[in-house]
Structure 1
Amino acid sequence: MEHILLLCTWVSRVWIGSLLSSQINRSSITILAEWLYVVINQNMGCKEDLNRSMEYLVFTCWFIWRARCDAIFNGVKPSPFKSNQVIITALESFKHAFSSLLLSSTIPNSLPRGMHHLALWSPPPINRIKVNVDACWKRDSLCGKIRIVARDSFSGCKAVKSVWVHVSSAGMAEALAVLEGCLLAKCLQEQEVVIESDAQGVIWSLNSPSLSCD
């Protein structure tokens, strides 16, 4: 199982190119469960981030298995880049379906403390891309992680990126996430871009008339 989901050469490239940016140290891996435990702890900034990491690990393992089956039974050459694109698209589709199911139920206007209404992802206008950015941050270590996904108006994944940062606050991490999203759009040579973030303070600051470009 360790070889199938971790140690195979093309599988290692899937993990390295994933949003988790997980390196595979062949000499230290003996049990798959132990490696998963280490990866989860490395990406555990908060409960919400833990849930995202768990979802991503499950989807990645499943699509690695599917790609391997396609290679064996259908002669389809596995591609790490394509696998990561499929994983991102499938995970977003899952979240969209789950959000739709939840919102279609009767939800009270006043939710218990700590719970929030789920927001549905909406595609950008035609000929534009939307760059979704998010960040988590640990107060004790001052370390954070930025995750970025760029998609077109047909929900096609254009690029994904994950960056570790060392900053003094969660707000700084969120601000850097927006900056990294802009830089990714520039690398893609996109001119018409929509940046989406759940950090209201950062967005309000960027939209403020008093903001200086200097």
Structure 2
Amino acid sequence: MTDSQFTTHVVFLLWFIWKERCNCVFNHISPNSLSVASRAFRASSEFLAIPTFISPKIHRPCNSEDSFHWLPPPVHSWKINTDAAWDSSTLSCGLSALLRDSTGTLVKGLSQSNFASSSLAAEAMAIDLGLSLASSIPLSSFQLESDSLVLISAFLNPLSAVDWSTSQIVSTIRTKASSFNRVNWRWTSRRTNAAADLVAAWASRRVCPVDWDSNPPPSLMRILLYDAAGPPP
């Protein structure tokens, strides 16, 4: 076993220990050290055996009809889209999180105005808002989509690092995510994240309608209807 392989096994073990700890704290599940060690070793072995396993999940879609459409989650499941609009001159940002079901129906949403040190930090804050939205339902498992390839890669790969300005937020997100049964991290293009992008822009300008999620304005409704229609057959 090489030094890098050993390090990989150790990092995965520490990550699974942390997830088990969070399950104990948040879900009141009794710890099982044997199960933790077994699952960590299996996950790290899969990672080492297939070094490029992460790329199919986050690759930029090919130039097909599906590339230009928001895709709904499977039946009886949920998808949360998040986005941020950041102003470098003021460091202000608008955050959004939209929860939709398999029919494309907007179930609930959150928006927020805040400040962030970078655009990446703002995107991370939007993802954190998405997890808060999931907790408020509450959901046990769901898809979470963002158009930040850097962040989605970081959440799919426990060994990856992010810029120092975002590392604390990413750590918080990883802790929160471990309290759910499953968070299916997904990258999406900005074009297919149009609904979240629009709400984030409103929040950034502080013109977001109070009831935008229960009574979407026409501009948002057009995007929601377009998304719900799906790609042409």
TM-score by length of 2: 0.40
Q: More relative contact order in 1 or in 2 (CA 8 Å, sep 6+)?
A: 2
TM-score by length of 1: 0.43
